[in-house]
A and B are shown apart, each in its own frame.
Chain A
Amino acid sequence: MDVLQIVAIGLIATVLIVVVRSQRPELAVLLSVAAGVIIFLLVLGKISSIMDVIKELASSAGINMVYMGTILKIIGIAYIAEFGAQICRDAGEGTIASKIELAAKILIMVLAVPIVVAVLTMLIKLVP
């Protein structure tokens, strides 16, 4: 019954944030950060077990683990960047949120370069 726990945490946090925001908006931001982190920590264990299953499937399908690792890293970067950007946007700082997203895109591109190079070299080999 993890869903009930998560919904309860969300509702309690929402009510407390609404109470605090009218007096102290800066503490309301920190409260929403804490609520988000706690909810994510509750589901992170489940994500890690899903990741183990995916890795097992990939290794049994004979996929190179370098590519799987890259994909996992990209998912992690995307999640963390999204988390930070959402919080910044919530607090009314859309500019910083956009910068975080841009930085995350660049980092993801850097990680994806080896895969793109591999695909391109394979294509060049295929084309006579």
Chain B
Amino acid sequence: MVNGIDLIFKIAGVGILVAVLNTILKQAGKEEQGHIVTLAGLAIVFIWVIQLLALLFDQVKSVFKLF
């Protein structure tokens, strides 16, 4: 599961990047662009996590014969 720990690092990286960008944009007086950056980061991470959750649900369904 190299893919797994990779995803955790990716999400944390997006989080830190968004925080830094937000701070910079706020310093430059561009609050609304900061909000957009936050929203974009959230959407990207959300898509990754949803895909992971779909994988989990599929596996649980096949292991426990839930249909």
Contacts and interface: CB of A to CB of B under 8 A. Distances in A.
Would you call the interface of chain A mostly helix, strand, loop, or mixed?
A: helix
7 contacts: A27-B41, A30-B42, A33-B49, A34-B7, A44-B63, A73-B65, A75-B64
B24 interface: no
A75 B65 CA distance: 10
Interface of B: 1, 4-5, 7-9, 11-12, 14-16, 18-19, 22, 38, 41-42, 45-46, 48-49, 52-53, 55-57, 59-66
A46 to B, nearest CB: 10
Interface of A: 5, 9, 12-13, 16-17, 19-20, 23-24, 26-28, 30-31, 33-35, 37-38, 40-42, 44, 47-48, 51, 69, 72-73, 75-77, 79-80
Contacts, number: 106
Would you call the interface of chain B mostly helix, strand, loop, or mixed?
A: helix
Contacts of A79: 60, 64
